[in-house]
Structure formats: C-alpha cells, structure tokens
Amino acid sequence: MPKTRPSHALTSRLRSAVAQLSYLQQTFHLVWSAARTWTLAWFILLVIQGLLPVATVYLTRILVNRLVAVVGIGSSWESIQPILVPGVLMAGILLLTEFLRSASEWIRTAQSELVQDHISALIHEKSVAVDLAFYESSEYYDRLNRARSDASSRSLSLLENSGSVLQNSITLLAMAAVLIPYGAWIPFVLLISTLPAFYVVLRLNRRQHWWWQRTTTDRRWLQYYEMLLTHSAIAAELRLFNLGPHFRSAYQVLRRRLRTERLKLIKDQSLGRLGAGAVALLISGTAMLWMVRQVLVGLMTLGDLALFYQAFNQSQNLMRSLLGNLGQIYNNSLFINNLFEFLRLEPQILDPDEPLPVPLLQKGIDFQHVTFRYPGSNRAALQDFNLTIPAGQVVAIVGDNGAGKSTLIKLLCRFYDPDAGRIELDGINIRDLSIAEFRRIITVLFQSPIPYHTTAAQNITLGDLAAMPSAAEIEAAARGAGAHELIARLPQGYDTLLGKWFADGAELSGGEWQRVALARAFLRRAQIIVLDEPTSAMDSWAEADWLERFRALANGRTAIVITHRFTLAMRADLIYVMREGRIVESGSHDQLLAQGGLYAQSWTAQIQVSQPYVSELN
C-alpha cells in the first residue's frame, strides 16, 4: 500500500482544520441568539482592551527617556514636571485596565449563564422531538452524552478564544507598528518563534479529541457503575448479593485505564510545549542581544531599549497566545461539532403535509398486514399482522413474552411506523393524522410506569396537563384507579410529595405507584385506553377491587388491555392470543375455553394455582 506523501497529509490536515472552523460561525450565531446585548458589550470591551497595552508600551518609552534626561537634577518641580504627565496617564491606563477586567468578568458570567440555558433548551427540545427509535440505539446515547457533557463550556471557550484572537490581533498589529521602525524583519522573527508552539497545540488537540471520542462509551460505563453503586433502587440487591466489590472493581479498573491514557496525553503535551518554549526563548534572546548592541554603539536610547523589550516580549507572548487560541478554536470546534451533530438529528415520524381531522371512533382500529422490525434487528416483531379492535369494547391481548404485544402499543401510538401494511382508525390511516392531535385521543399505562417525584395531585395531573383538571376530576381519576384511599392516608393527602429524592416525601410500594399511574392514565378522557400489564404489581385482592371499577370506567370507550393474567383477560369482551408476532386465537373467554387451544391450556395452568381467587371473582 503506497504511503501518503507529506504534502498530501498536510493539505488534508489543513482542509480538516478549515472544515472544523466552519462551526465557528454557527457557534457565534448560537451565542448571539442567546445573549445578544451581552455579546455586543463583550465585543466593545475586547477592542478597548486590545489597544490599552500599546498605549502603555508607548508611554513607557516617553517616561524612560524623560527620566534619563532629568537624572541628577534633583527632586525639584522642574525635574518632576516632565515625567508627571506620562506617569499619570500610565496610572490611569492601569486603573482602566483593572476596571475593564472586572467588567469583562461580569459580562462573561452573564453571557455564560444565558448561553448555557440556551444550549440546554436546544438539547432538551431535540431530545423530546426525536423518534423513540433513537432511545433504543447505543449510538444515540453516545451522541447525547457528547453533546451535553460540555457543550456549554466548549461554546463559551470557543467564544473566549475567538475574543482573545480578536483582542490579541488588535494589540499585535499596534505593537508591530511600534516595532517595525527598529527593523522590518522583527515581525517575521516573532512569527517564526511561535510556530513550533502552534504546531504542538494543533497536533495534540487532535489527539485529545480523538481520545475523547473513542472513550465515550467507556465514560458512559463509568456513569452506569456509578449509578449501580449509589442509586436507592439498587441498594438492597447490591447488599444482599454483595455486589458492591464487583462493581467497585469494574469502576476502578476502567477509571485507572482512562486515567493512564489521559496522563500520557498531558505528558506529551507538556514535553511538546517545553521544546517549543525553548525555541522561542532562543530566538527572543538573540533579538534582545541585537538590541543591546544597538544601544551600546549609540544607535538607540535606553528608552528605545525599554520600549523594544516590552514590545518584543509582549508581542511574542501575544503571538504565542494568538496561535494558541487558534489551536484552541480548532480544538473546541472539534468538540462543538458533537453538539451541532446532535442538533441535526431529525425524526422520521412526521406529520403529513395536510393532516386529516381525527375521527370520533365509531367502527374501530384495524391493523392490516402489518410487518415491523425494530431498527437494527433482522427479526420481525410482527409479520403480516392483522387485528381488529371494535370501537367501544374492552379487548384483551394475551401471549407469552416476546410475542409482540408491547410492539402493538408502540405502533398504535405511532412511536414507530410499520415497514409494511397500515393501521387505521375508522378506515383512516393514522399516518394521515396530525401526530399531536392523534395522540390526544389515546391514554396509555405503560408496563413500567414512571414514579414522578411530585405531589400526588401533580402526579395525576400529568396525565392531562393541557386540560388543567380540577381537584374533583383528579380525585375521580384516583377513585377509578383505586388510588384515592392510599392517597387519603398520606400526611398531606393529595398535597403529599411522593418519593424520597428531594425531601422527606412518602415512598410508595410498586403496586401503589401503579395505582397512581393508572389514575394518571384515566384522567385523560381519551377515546382509546391502552393498559400494559395494569395489575402486574397488585396483589389479588387489590386486583379484584380494581377490576370492579374498570368496566365502569371504560364504559363507552375503546380499551386495549395487555396482560399475562387471565383473571383480568376473562373480563374483556374480546380476547386475542398472540404468539411470535401473529394472532393465533380470538374470541370471548367462554369461546376460547370451548376451543381447547392455547388459551384454554394456559387458563387451566393458571387456575390450578389461583383457584380460590377465581372462585371469588365468579
């Protein structure tokens, strides 16, 4: 394989650098959108601060020359007067510099807060807008982690570096104007003395970014181990099975490897900067020796020497800082690329150009020849699937794990679109409906309900925030879900904070959290109710109580109940049995028992372990 020629490699790096710097404009636009007034003030201060060092250097020359002129005259007014004006002006400039430094810190803090909030808002907006499929991809989590880990700080660093480039450039141009009379070659010497440092920064920044990208998943593993070792939900099992040493060891081993790699990068960076600094020192020393010689032979004054020393020294520092900031801009643009890459993600589940009105469900829901595979999977979760759910009836769907029951919910809610086939409401394809309007007619209790750490009333209100439900409506939903009694027993009733995360709130059992989640689902007076294992965390007595309420609650609405419990399925108007992504049996409870198929066999198996409870129901 032929080796890449050095010139081609350099050209490739330059093109890459230019491409990365294109993110600078996007970052400026982002910062300007977040903090327009503060950014304008920041720019004005940069220009002023860029000119002040040149004024100081120029006044130093005047002051030194006048001091030389009055040496030996004494401390009379005649000797003090020539040095008074430049001395006062220098003091004023120093005082103004300190004032502007304090003002800049205040402006940067305000700018930082606004930019951080703006970027967080953009990330949150994108996170809730992308399809559910993104959350089932490890690559998405890597992108999200890279986008939010230091997006705000990198954006501000990019802005700071750019501001430093602007300020240093202004100062450097003014310094060059001061130095050129001493020799037109001096600016070129300054540039040559700082190029090694620039190369080191550029090269090592690329290495650091590559390492950071490569270790994204490793850092997410560290967060996972941290969660296992500190989260309350895992604390009991961690202690019972003595898993603490295992996960602590896994954390430490991974942390040790990342720490070693990081320290090696820092060591290489320090050695590179040391070498570049030695080159710069050698060149600046040579220039100063030349200047001392000019003074010794009488071609320049001590004031010229003082000016040259300050101007050359500051110019070298400015040049080094300028090129260093350019390197940092390149480095930060590599990282900020992750933010813009994340913000460019686009959902695939979209509204139609001209949405149809959502129908008032009268006929039912139809899955017609639906085939669906999860992204990245070769196995079909549903294959040529057909299902009819009559309007106004309670339909139970039963089947073993992996049969595709929960996939039905995701497709019905249009979290995904099928690869083939269609899902219809009263003959209208749900792809022809507005997503937001369509989802308004559905309420869902998912298999793993979320325990929101708010008050009991707010937990239920989250089921329909837009409706702004009254206290009576919240209580009615709680009663329907069997949650009213447990809430009434809490210290502050419906105003009791649930969960222990943020205060001394009330912790609920799994079954109690499930009832609160049911109340949240019931609060939304939706046409379609979908319940995924609604009684999985309830005991048999709680389930019996809830079943009595459910039929009344679902009256006149279309209800889909996914369950493993046949004692719940038997109350449905229609039961579908799923296996391997297909409907294999359907009918009422009595009809399925009479068929003697899979449902009947499973019923017999369950009835043997729950005979007393079933007798109670019957």
476 lies in some domain: yes
Domain that holds residue 95: 21-343
Strands 528-532 and 380-390: unpaired
418, 511: one domain: no
**DSSP run (H or E) holding 606:** helix 598-609
> How far apart, in whole angstroms, are the C-alpha atoms of residue 3 and residue 150?
37
With 0-12 CB in 10 A as exposed, 13-18 as middle and 19+ as buried, what is 315?
buried
Question: Is 143 a domain residue?
Answer: yes
Do 541 and 519 lie in one domain? The reply is no
Judge if 396 and 504 occupy the same domain: no
The residues of the chain scoring below 70 in pLDDT are 1-24, 69-79, 146, 148-159, 161-202, 205, 232-233, 236-237, 239-241, 273, 275-335, 503, 537-545, 547-548, 608-618
- Both 249 and 121 in a single domain? yes
Q: What is the rounded distance in angstroms from the CA atom of residue 399 to the CA atom of residue 404?
A: 8
Residue 205 tokens read as 């920044």
β 428-429/442-445 pair status: unpaired
* Residue at 459 is within a domain: yes
- Domain for residue 499, yes or no? yes
Residue 581's CB is within 10 A of a number of other CB atoms, namely 22
Residue type, 259: R
Same domain for 57 and 76, yes or no, is yes
Do 301 and 262 lie in a common domain?
yes
Instruction: Give me the DSSP letters along 533-559.
Output: STTTTS-HHHHHHHHHHHHHHTTTSEE
CATH number at residue 579: 3.40.50.300
Burial of 243 (0-12, 13-18, 19+ CB in 10 A): middle
- Clarify whether residues 472 and 517 are in a common domain: yes
Question: Rounded distance, CA 351 to CA 127, Å?
Answer: 18
The total number of structural domains that make up the chain: 3
Q: What is the pLDDT of residue 109?
A: 78
Judge whether 162 lies within some domain: yes
Name the DSSP class of 356: B
Whether residue 349 lies inside any domain: the answer is no
Write the Ramachandran bin of 248: left for phi over 0, alpha for psi from -120 to 50, otherwise beta. alpha
What is the structure's pLDDT at 3? 46
Question: Could you write out the three-class secondary structure of 452-520?
Answer: CCCEHHHHHHHHHHHHCCCHHHHHHHHHHHCCHHHHHCCCCHHHCEECCCCCCCECCCHHHHHHHHHHH
Q: How far apart are CA 428 and CA 94, in angstroms?
A: 75
Please return the burial class of 296, using the count of CB atoms within 10 Å of its CB with bins 0-12, 13-18 and 19+. Answer: exposed
Q: Is 404 within a domain?
A: yes
The residue among 474, 503, 525 that closes a domain is 525
Residues 294 and 308 in one domain: yes
Clarify whether residues 159 and 272 are in a common domain.
yes
Confidence at residue 538, expressed as pLDDT on a 0 to 100 scale: 67
Q: Do 161 and 87 reside in the same domain of the chain? A: yes
Residues 532, 520, single domain; the answer is no
Coil, helix or strand at residue 442: strand
Q: What pLDDT is stored for residue 103 in this prediction?
A: 84
- Residue pair 545/344 in contact (Cβ under 8 Å)? The answer is no
> 3-class DSSP state for residue 126?
helix
Domain end among 343, 371, 397 = 343
Please give the pLDDT value at position 432.
Answer: 95
91, part of any domain = yes
Please tell me whether residues 279 and 378 are part of one structural domain: no
Residue 528 CB neighbour total at 10 angstroms: 21
* Helices and strands: H and E segment counts in the chain: 21, 10
Q: What is the pLDDT of residues 45-94, one digit of tens each?
A: 878 877 787 777 777 777 777 777 666 565 566 667 777 777 788 888 88
The 3-state secondary structure of 244-293, one letter per residue: HHHHHHHHHHHHHHHHHHHHHHHHHHHHHHHHHHHHHHHHHHHHHHHHHH
From CA 115, how far away is CA 35, in angstroms rounded?
7
Last residue of a domain, one of 525, 551, 585: 525
Backbone angles phi, psi at 159, to 5 degrees: -65, -45
- Residue 609 confidence (pLDDT): 56
CATH number, domain containing residue 226 = 1.20.1560.10
